[in-house]
Amino acid sequence: MIVGVVKESFPGERRVALVPDLVPMLAKRGYEVVIQAGAGTEAGFLDAAYEAKGAQVLAGRDDVFAKAEILVHVRMGGANPERGADDLPRYREGQVVIGAADPLSHPEAIRALAERGVHAFGLELIPRTTRAQAMDILSSMATVAGYRAVLWAADRLPKFFPMFMTAAGTVAPAKVFIVGAGVAGLQAIATAKRLGAVVSAYDVRPAVKEEVESLGGKFVEMELETAEGEGGYAKAMDEAFYERQREMMLKVVAESDVVITTAAIPGRKAPILVTAEMVAGMAPGSVIVDLAAERGGNCELTRVDEVVESGGVTILGPSNVPSSLPYHASQMVSRNAVNFLLNMLSKPENPRDRDHVAVFDLEQEDDIMAGTWMTKGGEVVHEAVLEKLGATTEGQA
């Protein structure tokens, strides 16, 4: 099977779906790799590096689409709403297409892929299982976002993060409050602690208290009902819940120098957790970094990809945060994609069968493939996407 990688067309996207060092891993298992010239340049991976590892560099995008049987994207379909449709005429029936697709926010883009007759797999839909962790792009990219958010906050804050004891007196450490202790939040906690800040965190899932404390953060207790959903994710709650939550957070936010929010639910608008009233209560010079800006923002005053100043408080609403660290973000997302590709190879009935020759197999029963498969035989087949389209598998058939 020939795996193709093209330059990402999403505006401002600097990542690449496959890094040179992983080409031999695919070649060893029978895959060939073709890549569009310049696809990895913005992430720091030159064409010569791909050729040195055994990939074939092709001049144009059309050349890659024409030759590849499997296409791996960082962003495709709904994850590339402005330019993703440009590639639709290039897909051909039976091709396998893999990447982030934002299917629950843009289900119509998945229907468009189905109409091209491709087998499309959305990597955001990876099951939350131990076996699937190595393919989980959401966790990988959340790690990048949590780290970067703290650095942006430290750059904007007119204070030191750590405590300093100097001849001019003692400088108190910055107080950082993390809202949401998922992967991004936990990475933000760890990074802020490494920079010497005093860190506290809140999450609607009490079960994460131990993880917060293990990283040196203080878990903020609030008397609210548990909001843990399937797979350990926080679930969406009603507005009454968020109103009570905001009331309890008011004092904590006011005492913080930095607030980093991370609460986003796939396919839904992000809940408002930090109100304009809370922002008004913060000291001038304070910083808010809203990692949910792409989904509407957790802060009432956030504007996506803008810096908002309100009463001396700086509010950052960045989008596509992983692209700001394209080298390592590309390494991580391509490792996830390669692990997914290797999982698509046939598996021996007996794990001890050393003579088994693995081949690309779409017909095998596999929970990871089944959980991420969005389009097949010209139809949308993923139940959650069908629900967003207002259909059911039975109705479509």
Q: Give the catalytic positions in this structure.
A: 128, 133, 136, 139, 233
CA dist., res. 85 & res. 79, Å (int): 11
In angstroms and rounded to an integer, the radius of gyration of the C-alpha atoms of the chain is 23
CB 289 within 8 A of CB 152: yes
Tokens 């629900």 belong to 387
DSSP state letter for 78: G
CA dist., res. 380 & res. 311, Å (int): 48
CB 54 within 8 A of CB 30: no
Tokens 């690449």 belong to 16
Those residues with Cβ within 8 angstroms of residue 214's Cβ, 6 or more apart along the chain or in another chain: none
CA dist., res. 215 & res. 207, Å (int): 15
CB 257 within 8 A of CB 287: yes
CB 33 within 8 A of CB 63: no
Dihedrals phi, psi of 26, to nearest 5 degrees: -70, -40
Those residues with Cβ within 8 angstroms of residue 344's Cβ, 6 or more apart along the chain or in another chain: 360, 361, 362, 366, 369
Dihedrals phi, psi of 94, to nearest 5 degrees: 95, -15
- Beta strand spans in 54-105 (E): 56-58, 70-75, 96-100
DSSP state letter for 8: -
CA torsion, points 131, 140, 217, 290, in degrees to nearest 10?
Answer: -140
